[in-house]
Amino acid sequence: MSALQWKDIDRILMEIDVRKSATYLNKEFIVTLPKTKNSIRRIRINRKLFSLLDYWREKQEDLFKKLNILHSDESYIFQYKDTPSSKDIFSRKIKYSVKTTIDVYGHLYPNKQKEMTDKLDDLF
């Protein structure tokens, strides 16, 4: 999640291209390939999540402007300060739920992604 950049979102197909992983090693942000080939995938997102990402991008652009940080398609989606976020911040914030489970394991059923994302639109 922390390796995702705005350029990884396909705005036409409404999909996120997952091709990299990120971690901090000795206080240095390092982007690598995912651990397994199955981790490299495209994830379909629903309209509401797409809208939320658009909303966050606007807020992030404003925040970066205030912090005097350049914002572009190369910016990390979940970055909110001068350095990219660590995965630890997310694991503390995410509540375990059906939606989280679908987000984590949904790629195992790629032919069901469109159907699943459409149903998620109805839930929220």
> Does a structural domain hold residue 37?
yes
The whole-number pLDDT of residue 72 equals 95
pTM: 0.70
State which residues form the domain around 44: 6-123
The whole-number pLDDT of residue 94 equals 54
> Does a structural domain hold residue 93?
yes
Work out the percent of the chain whose per-residue pLDDT is above 90. Answer: 44
> Does a structural domain hold residue 1?
no
Nearest Cα residue to 3 out of 100, 85, 102, 71:
85
Work out the percent of the chain whose per-residue pLDDT is above 70. Answer: 71
> Does a structural domain hold residue 41?
yes
Instruction: Please count the structural domains in the chain.
Output: 1
Residue 81: which residues within 8 A CB-CB, separation 6 or more? 67
Mean of all residue pLDDT scores within the chain:
82
Structural Rg of the chain based on CA atoms? 15
Nearest Cα residue to 21 out of 60, 76, 95:
76
The whole-number pLDDT of residue 52 equals 92
pLDDT, tens digit (0-9, with 9 covering 90-100), for 61-92: 999 999 999 999 999 998 888 877 766 655 55
> Does a structural domain hold residue 63?
yes
Is the separation of the CB atoms in 75 and 8 below 8 Å?
no
